[in-house]
Amino acid sequence: MNKIVMPAHLIATARTQGGVFTTKQAAAAGITRAVTQRFLDDHVWWSLARGLYSLSPDPPWDGLAWGGVLLGGPDAALGFEAAGHKLGMCAPPSTIDVLTPHQRINRGSWRFHRMPGIEASGEPPVARIEQTALRMCADAEPEALFSQLARAVTSRRTTPRRLLDAALATPNVRHRALIIEALGDIAGGVHSALERRYFRDVEQRHGLPDGVRQVSLQPSRYSDVAYVEVAVVIELDGRLGHSGDGVFRDFERDNKNSIRGYVTLRFGWNDIVNHPCKVARAVAQLLVSRGWSGMMTPCRGCPDGQAE
Q: What's the DSSP call for residue 125?
A: T
Q: Is residue 1 part of a domain?
A: no
* Domain, as residue range, for 171: 144-188
Of 101, 127, 153, the domain-final residue: 127
Average pLDDT over residues 34-51: 96
Evaluate if residue 219 carries a pLDDT over 80. no
Report the pLDDT value the prediction gives residue 21, as an integer from 0 to 100. 98
| Domains held by the chain: number | 3
Cβ atoms 1, 42 nearer than 8 A = no
Same domain, residue pair 80 and 158? no
Last residue of a domain, one of 79, 101, 127: 127
Check whether residue 208 and residue 277 sit in a common domain: yes
| 3-class state of residue 96 by DSSP | strand
Quick one: 156 and 258 in the same domain? no
Cβ-count burial 192-211 (b if 16+ within 10 Å, e if not): bbbbbbbbebbbebbebeeb
The answer to whether the CB of 31 falls within 8 A of the CB of 10 is yes
pLDDT at 214: 81
Residues 183 and 228 in one domain: no
Together in a domain, 231 and 281: yes
Flag whether pLDDT at 298 surpasses 60: yes
Residues 223 and 208: their CA atoms lie apart, in Å, by 18
3-state secondary structure string across 252-270? HHHHHHHHCCCEEEEEEHH
pLDDT per position as a tens digit, 19-38: 999 999 999 999 999 999 99
Q: Is 2 within the bounds of a domain?
A: no
Task: Please indicate, yes or no, whether residues 164 and 111 belong to a single structural domain of this protein.
Answer: no
**Residues facing residue 111 across a β-bridge:** 97
Q: Does residue 300 form part of some domain?
A: no
Q: How many other C-beta atoms are found inside a 10 Å radius of the C-beta of residue 166? A: 19
Res 308 pLDDT > 60: no
Do 262 and 203 belong together in one domain? yes
Within a domain: 137: no
Contact at 8 Å (CB) between 257 and 233?
Answer: yes
Is 132 a member of any domain?
A: no
Backbone angles phi, psi at 279, to 5 degrees: -65, -45
In a domain, 55, yes or no: yes
The sign of the dihedral angle between the CA atoms of 195, 197, 201, 205 is positive
Q: Are residues 45 and 97 in the same domain?
A: yes
CATH number at residue 276: 3.40.960.10
15 & 105 share domain: yes
Burial class (CB in 10 A: 0-12, 13-18, 19+), 86: buried
In this predicted model, what pLDDT tens digit does every residue of 150-169 receive, in sequence order? 889 988 899 999 999 999 99
